Amino acid sequence: MILLEGEITELTTPPNKADQFRELTIWVPETGEHIEVTCFIHELQKSGLEEGSQISIKIEKKFDVDSLNPRPS
């Protein structure tokens, strides 16, 4: 599992489906990089996230289908 702490630095409207989505730009000091994520607008509004919000990003592997099916030699 990877856990990154960051701050939302920008909220923008994507060119397509602007009524449904918002793009978040997140600054991650640990890596010195920005991450861009597109979210449903209703989820974003429900969460109360906005520019300046501190967030955590958790990345973990849930399931690997390929490991269950051996590949032919």
Q: Does residue 50 lie within any of the structural domains?
A: yes
Handedness of CA 41, 45, 49, 50 (dihedral sign): positive
Q: Does residue 26 lie within any of the structural domains?
A: yes
Model confidence pLDDT, tens digit, residues 3-61: 999 999 999 998 887 889 999 999 999 999 999 999 999 999 999 999 999 999 999 98
What is the DSSP-derived secondary structure letter of residue 49? -
Domain span at 34:
2-61
Q: Does residue 70 lie within any of the structural domains?
A: no
Q: Does residue 73 lie within any of the structural domains?
A: no
> Coil, strand, or helix at residue 70?
coil
Element (H, E) at 56: strand 54-59
Query: What span, in angstroms and rounded, lies between the C-alpha atoms of 30 and 3?
Result: 10
pTM: 0.76
Q: Does residue 69 lie within any of the structural domains?
A: no
Q: Does residue 6 lie within any of the structural domains?
A: yes
**CATH number of the domain residue 55 falls in:** 2.40.50.100
